[in-house]
Amino acid sequence: MLPLAATELAMILSMAWSAARADASGDPGLVEALRRRDPQALARLYDRFGGVVYSLIYRIVHDAGIAEDLVQETFLKVWNQAQLLDPARGSVAGWLLTVARNRAIDWLRSAAARPDRTAWESYDAERPANFVDVEEVYISADQARRVRQVMEKLNANQRLVIELAYFEGLTQAEMAEKIGQPLGTVKTWVRTALQHLRKELAGAS
């Protein structure tokens, strides 16, 4: 094989570095690489989503050490089941965030000795097939700002019930008991809050 001329090498490097920039933003081929069990794909997945997964878990468990363990469990689960995700139609971010939240809520429930979901229910909610034919969850600093702005537009009661459901895993009956409000009132707050989220966030990804 003849060595490349300096100009050819410069051109190839320039093209490769451009391709790298495109991959870093959209990362096509990441799911395929995960399915091939390419260890570098896990690094790419972590570099892209590690921050948001850690932030979500830390928000739920409020303990850095526990959060680290749960992040590790989350990525291990995704690594072990990635071959079940459809590279053309699946939302890897949606799946990853769901697995992360479930890990953290399960830990919270066991730490608080609250009745846990059965193993089957947890497993069922995390099936990669659940994240097929949905738009990818778009993760960026702008999108995070937008989601926070939408949450801030909720009134205090609506925001409280969404946070109790999402970050503490409480059912409406558990919320009613925790905040000392009638179940009917809590259901109204939840319903109006979800209507607002659907309107503001649906399709935003």
Chain positions 12 to 51 lying near another protein, rule: CB under 8 A, are 12-13, 15-17, 19-24, 37, 39-40, 42-44, 46-48, 50-51
Nearest to 201 by CA among 131, 129, 151: 151
Q: Which of 31, 85, 90, 94 binds another protein (CB under 8 A)?
A: 94
Question: Least separation, in Å, of the C-beta of 127 and another protein?
Answer: 10
Q: Using the minimum distance from each CB to another protein, give the nearer residue, 85 or 162.
A: 162
> 30-35, long-range: CB within 8 Å, 24+ apart, which pairs?
30/92, 31/82, 31/85, 31/86, 31/87, 31/90, 31/92, 32/87, 34/78, 34/79, 34/82, 34/83, 34/85, 34/92, 35/82, 35/83, 35/85, 35/87
CB of 24 to another protein, least distance (A): 4
Residues 101-130 that bind another protein (CB under 8 A): 101-102, 105, 117, 121-122, 125, 130
Rank residues 121 and 185 by Cβ distance to another protein and give the closer one: 121
- Cβ at position 151, least distance to another protein in Å: 5
Exactly one of 63, 86, 87, 172 binds another protein (CB under 8 A); that residue is: 172
The token duo for 97 is: 């965030």
* Nearer to another protein (CB atom), residue 113 or residue 163: 163
Smallest gap, in angstroms, from Cβ of residue 182 to another protein?
A: 15
Least spacing, CB of residue 133 vs another protein, in Å: 6
- What CA–CA distance (Å, rounded) separates 40 from 61? 29
Nearer to another protein, 85 or 165 (CB): 165
The type of residue at 53 is: V
How far, in Å, CA of 168 to CA of 21, rounded?
38
CB of 1 to another protein, least distance (A): 5
- 202 sits near another protein (criterion: CB under 8 A): yes
Tokens coding 145: 């700002």
Q: Return all residues near 186 (Cβ < 8 A) that are at least 6 apart.
A: 161, 172, 175, 176, 179
